Amino acid sequence: MRGQQLGLKDRVIGSIFLGLVWILNKTYRFRYGGVENQKKARNFHPKGVYCVAVWHEFALPSVLAERGRTPHCILISPSRDGGFVDFLSRKLGFYTARGSSSRGGAEGARLLHRYLAEGIPAAFTIDGPRGPRHKCKPGVVRTAMKAGCCVLPVSVAVDRAYIMRSWDRNCIPKPFAKIVFQYGEPIFFPPLAEGQELDVTYTEQIEAALAQTHKEALATLHR
C-alpha cells in the first residue's frame, strides 16, 4: 500500500511549509543526551540497526535533530495527512514506509524489514497516527523482535515551543529554541516465535522507558 499521494496543490503547500521549517531550523540550537545509549543499540545488532520509539508530539523536532546524522526509515500513515509527512521526511533525507496499525500495516512492515536488513534503523511515532496519546502501539515491538534488534526510546525537551491543540499536543519549537534530543536506555526483547502472542507488558515497558527518558531530557535541558 503506497498510501495517498499528494496532488499539485498539496505539494505546493508542502514545499512552502518545508521552506518555513528550513528557516526555523537555522535558528535552533540542538543538544544531544545519552549518546552512549545509541551506541549500545548499534552494537547489539551486527548491522547496527535498532527501532526508535518516540511520541507523536515530538515528530518534527526529532526529524530535524536527526537530519544529517542518522538516516532512518520512518513508518508513516497511508492517509492524506501522512502524505504531507512522507513528502517532508523524504525532502529532509529520510526513507519512508507507508502503513499504520489500522491500514496498510503488513506492507509497511515488509518495507521496514527490508531497510533494516540493509542496515538502516527504523523509527516509529508509537502512539500515532490517531492516539490515544502516550499509549504505545505494538508495531515497534513486533518489528524489533522479528529483526533481532532493540528498541531505542527517544524523547525531546524544548525551552520554548508552540503546543498545538491536537490530540497529541504536537510540539513545534519556536525560533531560536534550545532542543534536547535524548536517547534512553535500549530495551531488549526476546525473539518472537511464529504464532506467539505479544506480551502486553512489553508496550508498558516502552511507555515507562519514555517517561524516564523525558525526565533525562528535561534534566539535560536545564543543565
- Whole-prediction pTM: 0.90
Residue position matching grid coordinates 524523547:
155
Angle, helices 139-147 vs 105-117, to 10°: value is: 40
CATH number corresponding to 8-221: 3.40.1130
What b/e string do you get for 122-149 counting C-beta neighbours within 10 Å, with b at 16 or more? bbbbbbbbeeeebebbbbbbbbbbebeb
Q: Is 205 helix (H, G, I), strand (E, B) or coil?
A: helix
Q: Is 44 helix (H, G, I), strand (E, B) or coil?
A: helix
Q: What pLDDT, on a 0 to 100 scale, did the predictor assign at position 104?
A: 46
The C-alpha atoms of residue 53 and residue 180 are separated, in whole angstroms, by: 16
Quick one: cell of 221? 535541558
10-residue mean pLDDT series, the chain (223 residues): 62 86 95 97 97 96 93 84 81 86 65 94 92 94 94 98 95 97 96 73 96 98 93
Q: What pLDDT, on a 0 to 100 scale, did the predictor assign at position 1?
A: 43
Q: What pLDDT, on a 0 to 100 scale, did the predictor assign at position 105?
A: 60
- 10 Å CB burial of residue 63 (0-12, 13-18, 19+) is buried
Q: What pLDDT, on a 0 to 100 scale, did the predictor assign at position 10?
A: 75
- 10 Å CB burial of residue 36 (0-12, 13-18, 19+) is exposed
Strands 161-163 and 95-98: unpaired
